Chain A
């Protein structure tokens, strides 16, 4: 049996979403069909509204629906520390940790020459400009890009670009997951954890 064209179109569009395969898209399409008109309208309105009002914060490039994002407009945050991350999702992850009270800068990607992503394609210039135009005490920059090769390269590139500006730059630590047993740790993480060990006593 052939599905109606409108249903095929809906399944096709849904299956383009991240994490949604053809079977899930089919299930979602049938679910939407059996939902009330109001529920479907609410969903479509929410998608359109979000698409219309969401934009990038002009300071940190995080996603926001106001002039400045919630972090940049919060005066209680530590204005002297900027945490550099690759994606807006990373901001949420760090916020969930509850360990960071400073500001963010979202690069929107990592350097990958073979995919045509160079320094101009990500928001490095915005970070440098932000620090250059800043008044007051020197800022500390925490590089929290991912620990992939691309993330590492981006981190090292940003570090070199920041050197002439006289800012303190640090990199998030590599380590073992909290609560994990050593024997189950993968060799790369374990190697990095040993290389980046921290002294606990001083003689």
Chain B
């Protein structure tokens, strides 16, 4: 008989407190997303560990037929306190919500995906441009998930020249002559190609123009809206980006 106990390690991407004082956590682990409940977790000595963005190792107890595992042991591996800063908080929520929506339970994430995600969260705190880190990690997560749009040539004509438009529904780019989708400009589409081909480090070494950045955000919103979900965190991210301030 398979053991009902399992040990997993991951980042808390969603935290909900039930009226009864239980804490339901969603963790992104290399083996996939894990949802579990810490009974009475809102009070007591375990509560400081049951927070968003924390790296935890948990022991789960799963009864057959029970869809929610019980978190029986919780150990803190690391915390990223800098993510509560208003400068990065909406971005961290955005990435966590994206990961939460992108991966279902038992959906294999892999070590590469897990490290990309955790590296992204760390980058938000350490990098001078958290806006760009969010954009890059979001597109990279889509790529790892096999959901990256076709950006090398026009999806209509196959042309490699003058690619300016992004058709979210069709999942690719079109040339100016076809003109289907959002006009995000050649620079943004070239950057999408760089994101698809290069490593995070290589992409960050190149400058990103304001126009290309705006185009990439626009394309990301449209693409996620069609292929993943409309994320709740968009509101806070947009407000922050439009004002250049913190969520206001």
Contacts and interface: CB of A to CB of B under 8 A. Distances in A.
Q: Do A and B associate with each other?
A: yes
Interface in A111-130: 111-116, 118-119
A115 B49 CA distance: 20
A184 interface: yes
Contacts of B46: 186
In the complex, the 8 A-B pairs of residues with the closest C-beta atoms, listed nearest first: A18-B19, A113-B236, A188-B48, A152-B84, A113-B93, A113-B233, A114-B97, A153-B84
B85 interface: yes
Interface of B: 14-15, 18-21, 45-46, 48-49, 51-53, 76, 79, 81, 83-86, 89-90, 93-94, 96-97, 100, 231-233, 235-237, 239, 246-248
A114 B19 contact: no
Given A21-B20, A112-B93, A189 B48 contact: yes
A114 B79 contact: no
Contact of B84 (A156, A187, A189): A156
Contact of B79 (A19, A156, A188): A188
Interface in A159-188: 160-161, 184-188
Given A19-B20, A114-B232, A184 B48 contact: no
Contacts of B48: 147, 186, 188-189
A64 to B, nearest CB: 22
Interface of A: 17-21, 111-116, 118-119, 147-150, 152-153, 156-157, 160-161, 184-189
A112 B96 CA distance: 12
Nearest to A17: B19
B85 A156 contact: yes
B19 A19 contact: yes
Contacts of B94: 113-114
Contacts of A161: 248
A17 B53 CA distance: 30
Contacts of A20: 20
Given A113-B247, A148-B15, A185-B45, 12 more contacts: A21-B20, A113-B89, A113-B94, A113-B232, A113-B233, A114-B14, A114-B97, A152-B81, A152-B84, A153-B85, A157-B89, A157-B247
A147 B43 CA distance: 12
A150 B52 contact: yes
A149 B247 contact: no
Contacts of A114: 14, 93-94, 96-97, 100, 231-233
